[in-house]
Amino acid sequence: MRRLDLAAPETFETFAAGITAPIDVLINNAGIFGPKPHTIADVGPALFERILRVNTLGPVLLARALLDRVAASEGKKLVTMTSRMGSFGANTSGSAPMYRASKAAVNMLMQCLSIEVAPRGVGVLLLHPGWVRTTMGGEQADLNVADSALGIRRVIDGFDPTERLALRAWDGRDLPW
């Protein structure tokens, strides 16, 4: 495993150049939430730009930098960890607008990418890990890390790249866009 700071997209091409083997499954996992709780009144340029840089721009640019390695593989799966909070159809609370907007934006950009990469046989999976007991999710979250990880693995293993695009939860449910 190699680590990369998704807030530093200027390093992506160098990072990608160091990887020469095909990548069966690329998992983009990035997420910063911002202040808890936050509302529209908390939206400010510097904080919102940082959240967008990490949650949206980073995964898209990394996918672009590594796309040839994914397309050259047998697996051809490009997975981006998202959140159901990025779903327009599932937003009933309006809370955390900066986080929600960043995840909605990455979903849209990955949907656009899925159209571009379909001729190369690459499938794009947007995957919600659930509300997990982590630093971001907190102790009150529904899922422990092990159960979320097991579900994520099952969903990734079951995703067929010929499907082209899916927005799914850790338990295999399709989520509304």
- Residue 108, Ramachandran bin (φ over 0: left; ψ between -120 and 50: alpha; else beta): alpha
Is 35 designated active site?
Answer: no
The end-to-end CA distance of the chain, in Å, is 31
Q: Which one, of 176, 173, 172, 169, lies nearest residue 82 by Cα?
A: 169
Which residue among 99, 131, 159, 170 is the active-site one? Answer: 99
Beta pairing partners, 23? none
Buried b (16+ CB within 10 A) or exposed e, 41-72: eeeeeeebeebbbbbbbbbbbbbbbbbebbbe
Which amino acids are annotated catalytic?
99
